[in-house]
Each structure stands twice: as C-alpha cells, then as structure tokens.
Structure 1
Amino acid sequence: MTATSPSPAVPTAGTWSAPGRVNLIGEHTDYNDGFVFPFAIEHRTRVDLTTGRDGVIRVRSSFAPDPVELPLAELDALFPARRDEITEWARYPLGVAWALLDETQTDPASVTGVDLLFSSDVPVGAGLSSSAAIEGATAAALNDVWDLGLDSVALARIGRRAENDAVGAPTGIMDQTAAMRGRADAGIFLDCRTLDAEIIPLGFAAAGLEVLVIDTRVSHAHSTGGYRERREACERGAALLGVPALRDVSVDDLPRAEELMDDVTFRRVRHVVTEDQRVLDAVRTLQGDGPRAVGPLLDASHASMRDDFGISTPELDLAVTTARAAGAVGARMTGGGFGGAAIALIDHELVPAATSAIETAFADAGFTAPHIFTVHPSDGARRDA
C-alpha cells in the first residue's frame, strides 16, 4: 500500500527506508552469541519524516488506521514498564526513539518533534523481519534529523533494544544488522557476540540461481510463548554446560550435553550448536565451491529446525519438500518459525514450474494459498530523499 503524502503545509525533512531480510542460514543462533548469514532484500519499509510540534512524536502508517502521538519526554516513563499501553505496531518506532534518546543521553527537550508516516512492502508475518525494517528506517531517520552521529552498528543495537524492551520480543541482533548493513549481491556473515561482520559475495545471479520465498501465510509473533520457550531452553542448556552461551559449545561437546540434559533441552541445544557449524560451513563453501554447493546445508538446517528445535509447521515442511522435488538445490524455512516463510535456492528457469507445484501441493493439502516470489540481495537502511 502507498501512504498518503504529508500535508504540504508541513516542511518535509525527508524520506528514509530500510529493508526486510532473508536469513540464508543460521536460525536461532543470534541470541546464543553465535553466527548468522542473512541478506537484505529489495522489499522495504519507508518513513516520510516531517518536523512537527516541539517536543511531540507522532507515528502513522498506511497499515494501521489510528495515529499515535505523545510527548517525547514521556517515552522514558512508558518503556519498558508501561509498554502495553501503546498499540503494538507503534512500539517499534516509539521504542527506537526512546532507545536513541536514552542511549545517547539526549534531553528530549533538545530535539525537534517529528511526524513519522510509514508505508511498507515487506510482507508482515512472513519471517522476513518487517519489524526490523520499521526499526531500521526509524533509526536512520531520527539519527540524521536529531544529528546523533551513530554508526550502523550502534543503530542495529538501538533496534534490538527497542524490540527487546519496548516491544517485548526477545530477539537477537541479526535482523537489525541486516536492515542497517545489507549490501547488494552479498550476504552478511555476522558474529553475534562481537558484532564483527564480513560482507560475503553470494553470486546467485551469476550462477543462474534465484532465491524463491514461499510465504505460507501462517502468521507468527515473536513475542508469543514458543519463541521465548526456545530461548529459555538454550539458556538452560548453556548453564548446565557451564558456558556463557551456546556459542561456546562445539559439536564434539554434544555427547556430554546429552548426558546432562533432558531430551527436549538437548535437542534445542543440538540444533543451535550444529546450526552454528552450518553457518561456518556455508560461508566456506560459498567462497570455495560456489553457491550451488550450499544446498545440502540448507536442507540439513531445515531438518534440524523441524526435528530438534520444533519450530516448523506442516505448511513449511510441504513448501520445502515440494521445492526440493521441483529441482531446488536446497530449501529451508527462514525466520523465527511457527509459521512464516521458506526459501528455496533454485535455477532461474525452474521458478515457474516450482511455483506451480507448490501452489498445487498447498491446494491439495487444503492449506491457504501461499504467496510465492523471488528476492534479491539488496542494500541496507538509507536516506532516499
């Protein structure tokens, strides 16, 4: 949907945008201090920012009917203690404003009031991080307009704090990093402990490959119990092993882990530990053997999320198996799970037939028709106008 332009009577400060993301591999490793390998996509959230009344922040969107407006000075009292008083979508941009002011120790009275008008073509609920796109666009805009001078790493941290504390979703920093630091035709190999990031050329187009997204239209919410339970299981496993985070556990440690833990906790731990290794293997494979060789790692990642982490769904499993049968070199669910999207790495000429096969399989199973489209690695947050 396209948002209505701000009133010409109000001076426009500019337009900023930030992308959604696809995680090529590395799921639920980010909050375990591990490794992830996402890339930004061309689908973006845009914010038209105008300077508003002194001391007031107002957020509006094309996807919610009512604006939310409050004094900047009240943000500190709202977050995190009274966040439930704010409608959920508005907590994302308001939370970013709060975190920016708090982290930089900026007096709300010293910055201009703003009116933020959002529009987006990032599919909501598909696991493509529409939330981080809102956070990234907001952070980039306010950082510029308020002249805070923060770099992309700091703005990614701001987005994570907003999502954790203002929204109440216990996510890691992968999504915000992709939104802020994405590059065209490249993935971001991110160490979530140090925040060191390496831009890795993907070479999909040169190899004749497409990334096909199969949005199952099964909505999910990170702030609900399933995600939180998985995170708690990971923390419990790390504590039983006596390490700060599962990042510090290797595949060779898994036999000892199995002896110390109940079956569910062990399987959660095994997914994270093996997924970290798959990320490292994927980066090495891309650099050495090229993009077609990463297919088996994508397949193994999905099996691990299905069997060990327990976050897949029948719709996601069907999307993956059908894509593989249609010729994909590899396929996996992407995102937090419990719904959302799967991705398939597939030859360009096979996309139409694979799309038809997946649509038919979903219809035969009685599932809601999926939304299927390709995505391409793209740039991160930026000022557009």
Structure 2
Amino acid sequence: MMREPDFVDECYADKDLSLLKKLTLVIPTYNRNYYLSRCLWYHAHFPFGEIIVADSSPEEKKVVNRETVAKVREMFGANVRYLAYEPETEKYGGDIYRKWGDAVQHVETEYSQICTDKEFQIVTTLCKCIHYLESHLDYTVAGGGRYHLEFRQKRSYTLTSFAGTIVDKDGWKRLQQFISSSGFTLLSIHRSKKHKEIYLNMICNNQDDLRFGEVYLDLLDVIFGKIYNILDLAITYRDQLTFNQTNSFSQKNQESSSFRYQVIWAYPNSEFDSKWTDFKNGIRESLFQEFPDDLCDIEHNLEPLLQHWLNIRLTRPNPIRKPLRIIYQICPDSLKLFFQKVFIQRLNPKKYFPIDENNPEVKLICQIIETFQWV
C-alpha cells in the first residue's frame, strides 16, 4: 500500500537518518493496544535496522497487536519482528526483564535500545549518539535527556534525569561517579554485544525482581563501559498523561509496571533481605571480575554506596511526602512552577522545565499524543 507523506515525514525531510539502520528498537508491551499502535506508527516512519515488539499481553490483546504489526509492515515497509511471550505472573515482576533480555538476544544490528510503548524517540539525537559510539570504541552506552510530557489544559511541562558523561577507565570509579550524578542508562543506546551480556549477567545472578533489576541493569552498564550523554539534547519524550478526544485528561495507565508491582519499601522484611542480598552480591561479583585490583575498596565501600543509591533511585518514603504531594496537585500552575524551582530541583535529581513550544520535534510529538487515532 502506497502512503502519502505526512507531517512526520515533513518534519524530518531534510535530515540524514541513515545511521538508524545500525539500530534496533526493542519495544516491550503488555495489554496496551492503543499505545503500541501509536508507538509503532511513529517509529515506522524512520529507517531503523529493525523494530522488535516483545508482547506479553493476554491472547485477545495479542491478536490486535499482531494485526497492528502487519498493518505497519504493509503501510511503511518497516522491518518489524513480533515476539510473543506468556503474560507476566511473578509477584515481583522478574519475568518482565527476562522478557526484555530475551528480546535483546534477538537483535542483529550493531546497536540496540529499549523503547517502551508510551515513548517517542528523537531520531536526530539517536543519530548523534550512534555517531559518537562509532568514533569512540571504548564507550558502550550513549544517551541524552529523558523528558516526561505532562499535559495540563494543553500546556506541557517536562522533567528529565540523566547522568553526565562517565569517562573514567576504572569501572569502580565510574560506578561512584554515576551514583553521585543520579544517572539512568536503562533506556539509552547500547552496543548490542554488551547489551546482551548485561541481560545474561542479570539472569545468571538471580535478579528476579522488577525494582532491583532496573537499578542492577543501570549499574552493570557503568561497570562494563564508559557512558556518553548529550547533556543539552533530548533523546526520548514519554507520554505521562494523555489528552483524549473529550478534551479531558486520563490518569496514568494502571497497566504500567509502576502500578502493577509493589515498591521495594513495601516488601516483607524477609523478601527484601533476600533480594537485597542477591542484588549487592551480583554487583560485587561483577566488580570483582572486572576490577580485581580494587577488591579491598569495593568490599569496604560498596554496600553503603548501594544503600544510598537505592534510597535515591527508588525513592525511600518520606513521612511528609504524601501531604506535600496533595498540596502540590491542587495548586495553580504558577505556584507549581514556584515549588519546582525552589524545592523540587534542590531536593530531587529530576528537573522540571516549561516545554519549548518552538521545538518542531516536540510539537510533532504533542500533536500525535493529542490527535492520534489508529484507523
């Protein structure tokens, strides 16, 4: 089926995106037909080497997703591979990252990136990241700013959290730098060979937990290689609240893993202790294997460092957090901006900014979020 150029094509008409042929996007999805269709429709405009859909939805949802994949292949001529998995059933979500890891093992291109089904990649930034990795062979991960689009009466705000570039030759020192900079690499571009090794390491070291697993994968990235981040460019925009056709705003999707699974601070003590032990032992063994000369320093300092990082990254509850959140939610936008500047940016590594309405790539994504209908 021939397709007429649309506003996405027009936005990127003068851009050289040929480096995307070296990248595979892995899109995990669960029970969200609409978000997957929108995600595939957007990314199929671009010349990715391959797009892999890792679908663990119930069977009736899988039927719809297979139809979507077939339609995208026909409409765009996109190279989309569909992988089916059993629905996730484990109490602590360990099967989620095993699904991700299995999908990554299917990657055939030089680079790979996880892209969740509510996200939009900024393809010009992806090309810059790939170009950097092509010319800096000692780096294994590259990324940029990750922004969450939060719509309020068609006005948008963004937040981002990412590490700076981590360049030390010693992985133990890189780990310390990464934690001090509040980093995040899970959804960045990876060299596929290392990406596969990291997920295999996770499985071999008994990481069967969604929350600990997220942090574990980030830290392995830093242990195994240098990290490059383009500090002034966004790599991903994520739809946090969706504007719908009735001019109202939907709540965050309850099928998100953020809502389906407990936070670690709510685990029974015995369960937390067991998973914490597996987590720190896996990180320790990975460090020992890579950097045996740092063994004494690692043994002495690793545990308090990891405890500190979990408290920050997985947000240990604060007794005043809930009442402050309620007050914040009912404030007018002007007061929210004040609170963001005075409190949130000082107390939280995430930063909040007004959206740049003059950025054509962001305007394009906002337009898709507000108007997309799969025909």
Structure 2-normalised TM-score? 0.28
Give the structure with the larger strand fraction.
1
The structure with more helix, counted as a fraction of residues? 2
Higher relative contact order (CA 8 A, sep 6+): 1
